[in-house]
Amino acid sequence: MAERLNVNPTRMELRNLKRRLATAVKGHKMLKDKSDEMVRRFVELAKENKRLRQEVESELAGALHDFALARSCCEDYVMEEALAMPSKSIKIRAGVSNIMSVVVPDMRMEEESKGEDFPYSFARVTAQLDASIVTVTKLAEKLVQLAQVEKSCNMLAIEIEKNRRRVNALEYVMIPQTEETIRYITMKLDENERSSTVRLMKVKSMIQDR
């Protein structure tokens, strides 16, 4: 049995508790619906995160393999000279979006300056380095997307846990305590009413006897 609240058993307190109970029940339903929707959105993002991570890891492994082959065929100083100066620069535009009242990052990659895809002489390096650079260049946007989705998943997970605690507090503490207190006050008021009725009947009987 839930513990009752420490309040005076009066009709005014009973009205206040009934209003509080109605608000708590309505709030519990809204929070439960919100929690279910956040879990659904979280599952979607988790699937997207898994897909992006698998693609990134697979393509990055291929790029590193090509880079290792290219490095094994060239002198270290040749590789350093070939990759010393980047030919392009990118900009990340960071904003925010809203998922079920949770503010999550919204990032977009933009190419700030255009240049040659390969900032080196083809005669000095192997084709594997070209393939590695092409793959890594294409991977940049996916890496930004992966970072955005993964951070969104983390923030949603934190909010889902907070919301779950609120739902549990309403469902297992506040609502049962309020219902128990309402029952207690109702019983007290009924008991007082019966006592008043008995006293009135006794007074009436005494008056009639006189």
Is 81 part of a structural domain of the chain?
yes
The predicted structure's pLDDT at residue 114 = 63
For 84, list phi and psi in degrees, rounded to 5. -70, -40
CATH of the domain at 154: 1.10.287.3240
Is 190 part of a structural domain of the chain?
yes
Helix axes 76-83, 11-73, angle to 10 degrees: 130
Is 156 part of a structural domain of the chain?
yes
Query: How many helices (DSSP H) and strands (DSSP E) are in the chain?
Result: 4, 2
Q: Is the CA virtual torsion 107, 84, 128, 121 positive or negative?
A: positive
Dig out the tokens for 54 from the structure: 């698998």
Is 155 part of a structural domain of the chain?
yes
Is 174 part of a structural domain of the chain?
yes
Q: How many domains does the chain have?
A: 1
CA distance 205 to 109: 92
Is 209 part of a structural domain of the chain?
no
Is 5 part of a structural domain of the chain?
no
> Per-residue confidence of the chain (210 residues) as pLDDT tens digits?
668 788 888 889 999 999 999 999 999 999 999 999 999 999 999 999 999 999 998 888 888 887 777 777 776 666 666 666 666 677 888 888 888 888 898 888 876 656 566 665 555 566 676 677 777 777 888 888 999 999 999 999 999 999 999 999 999 999 999 999 999 999 988 888 887 777 777 777 777 776
Dig out the tokens for 162 from the structure: 């907070």
